[in-house]
Amino acid sequence: MPVEACGANPFPSLTHVDAERAPAPPPEVERRAALLHERDSQMGIDLEVLSVSATAGARSTGVEAVVERFGMSFDGGRAEISGELFAVGAEVGTRNADGSQGVGLGAGVVFAGVEATLKLGDDSSVTIGASSGMGFHVSLGLRDADQDGKPALCGRVVELFTIAGCIELPF
């Protein structure tokens, strides 16, 4: 179960705010360490071995330790596969792993897990996956990844199976 995020705006704005007038995000501290972390952007491969991380701030609090995490992207980033072996973590906050602002909560131990994500346009996606372990993760939020002023509603539920997605709203 990825423990990559949760954050802190319990009342996300549906109104587009340009970057110059946007309020500064609250302070947050994030620290990561890994024995090996390699990324090849041209090949679309990411590998992390023996990593630990901690995040603390108004938008998120979390910790994780992972023996191995890998990721691959295809078709210019339109499709992604990621997995992890022997991971433990916990998180709570309003900044979610999918980049949305809302609410997220989770804790778990994963022996092995894999997820596949397919991007459907600029701000919509669907993710499915499976893992062996125990724990849970649930998040719900809004984001505007393509910055067109239309928010996408994102949700994620992880237990033994991962079901997640973001759907850009028409307004």
Domain boundaries, the chain: 28-168
pTM of the model: 0.77
Residue whose C-alpha is closest to residue 1's, from 153, 151, 113: 113
C-alpha to C-alpha distance for 154 and 139, rounded to whole angstroms: 8
pLDDT string in tens for the chain (171-residue length)? 443 433 333 334 444 445 566 666 677 898 999 999 999 988 889 999 999 999 998 888 999 999 999 999 998 889 999 999 999 999 999 988 888 999 999 999 999 999 999 999 888 999 999 999 999 999 999 999 888 889 999 999 998 899 999 999 987
SS3 59: coil
